[in-house]
Structure 1
Amino acid sequence: MKKTSILIILISVLFLSGCSLGSREVKIEKPALESNAISILDIQKKAEQNVKDAAQKEQEKINKAMENAGLDDLSFVKKYSKATIKTNMGNIEVEFFGKDSPITVNNFMKLASEGFYDGTKFHRVIKDFMIQGGDPNSKDDDWSDDGMGGPGYAFKDEFNSKKLVRGSLAMANSGPNTNGSQFFVVTAEETPWLDGKHTNFGKVTDGMDVVDKIEAMEANENDHPLKDAVIKGIELK
């Protein structure tokens, strides 16, 4: 009888253990390789999202800067299409690509109308390449900061299908969407390495001889001309 009781107890314990095991959630750990692969995908997705978020924030900053600078007002480009850049070495006549680069053209015209460019110099000249100007820092005799100035804001690029060739008027920049006031005139026959990197917003229609004279000026090791080529004023037409 005693043996029978013990046997019944053992059978009961085993039965209850089986029921308990059956009621538990069975978890199978994922293989290490699969877990690592999922982690890498998660990291990649987060990185891609971070890039998108950063790009969106940068675009919002650019849009805000453009709004504050009044660049959404295209009143100048609707009124004018040409200009005379008057320098101490002669006049340069330009025609703008208002339909292709309206914000860029309007910005240039707005600054010109305010006298922003008056007294600035062509601070960088490279033979068989280009002449660069439009920096307010170039108004004084301190050359150390020439090429580093601007209007206090930056705006987006407006690339178009027009190639940067001899006589092209384009924006100088320090990277994507960093346009301000500095510009350059191409003196080389063509510059394919610049296409898609600098906004082409106009062309010289008369006065390339003046551009060539500025380009031919003697310069130092930093391409800064040793004599002044000054913009006396810009007349919009």
Structure 2
Amino acid sequence: MLLCGVMLAGGVTGCGKKEASLSEEKIINYDMPAEGEKIVELNIKDYGTVKIRLFAEECPKAVENFLGLVEQKYYDELIFHRVVKDFVIQGGDPKGNGTGGESMWGTGFKQEISSKLCHFEGALAYAVASDKLNNSQFYIVTGDTVTEQTFEQLKAYGKTYSDQVKQMYYEHGGQPYLDGDYTVFGQVIEGLDICKKINDVAVDSKSKPKEQVTIESMKVTEYHAQ
């Protein structure tokens, strides 16, 4: 179960030519949670804690599934089995090789793709296989520099962006190639530096860290502004 979108020198290929017109919507990735809102703390062994906001109003089933799996301790002791520099860190597979994982209901469920959420650096999304169904595997975007050339390439794939969204990609970096093909349902609000440290680990030919990066635990907690 891998991300289908990959970058190639001088071009891009994806899971299909899909419209991802982001022109008028208000982008909400970086809106902070309300006081007392549910968030998830991802505790990574030897690295620290990553705090994530979830967007239940945009992706209700995706968030329900993630919260359910967290409360079941499904993710505890699993590894990040795939790390691609300046792209993503990916985990959530009990098999640890990218071929396993299931939703809290035991079967995959349809994607919920919101035009208000983009693949900026720190975005949380579900990885899918060829069936395009969400299960347990997820990734966090560690991002790359985005330029005007990036958006010129994306026009050939039916993906057009407003000046506002382009500017946000220029400022934050990310992976606009993935927009419209995967369910973005959360955003790192604290600990992005930890994700980027993991993004620098040595990996093997299959992009698996040579030294395990382990999710010690995940828990649901409340957001409180400091």
Consecutive unaligned residues in structure 2, runs of 5 or more: 1-35, 144-172, 222-226
TM (norm. structure 1) is 0.62
Aligned partner of 1:122 in structure 2 is 80
Query: Paired residues, what number?
Result: 152
Match of 1:209 among 193, 206, 211: 193
The structure that is helix-richer by fraction is 1
Cα deviation, residue 177, structure 1: 3.6
Larger-gyration structure (1/2): 1
What residue in structure 1 maps to residue 126 of structure 2?
171
Offset, 1:80: 5.8
Q: Which moved more, 1:126-135 or 1:80-89?
A: 80-89
Runs of 4+ that moved beyond 2 A: none
Shift of 1:178: 1.4
In structure 1, what is the equivalent of residue 107 of structure 2?
153
Give the distance between the partners of 1:83 and 1:113, measured in 2 at CA: 10
Distance 2:215 2:178 in 1: 25
- One-letter code aligned to 1:228: Q
Q: Does 1:82 align with 2:66?
A: no
Which structure has more strand as a fraction of its residues?
A: 2
Cα shift readout 1:141-166 (whole Å, capped 9, x = no counterpart): xxxxx100012410000000111110
* 2:63 is the alignment partner of 1:101: no
Asked whether the 8 Å contact 1:156–1:176 carries over to 2, the reply is no
1:175 CA displacement? 3.3
Q: For 1:1-237, what aligned pairs fall within 5 Å after superposition?
A: 81-88=38-45, 89-138=47-96, 146-151=97-102, 152-161=106-115, 162-175=117-130, 177-188=132-143, 189-237=173-221
Give per-residue Cα distances to partners, 1:73-126, cap 9 Å, x unaligned: xxxxxx963110011021100000110001001101101100110110000001
Gaps of 5+ in 1: 1-78, 139-145
Which structure has more RCO (C-alpha within 8 Å, separation ≥ 6)? Answer: 2
- Distance (whole Å) between structure 2 residues aligned to residue 125 and residue 177 of structure 1: 21
Distance in 2 (alpha carbons) for counterparts of 1:198 and 1:96: 15
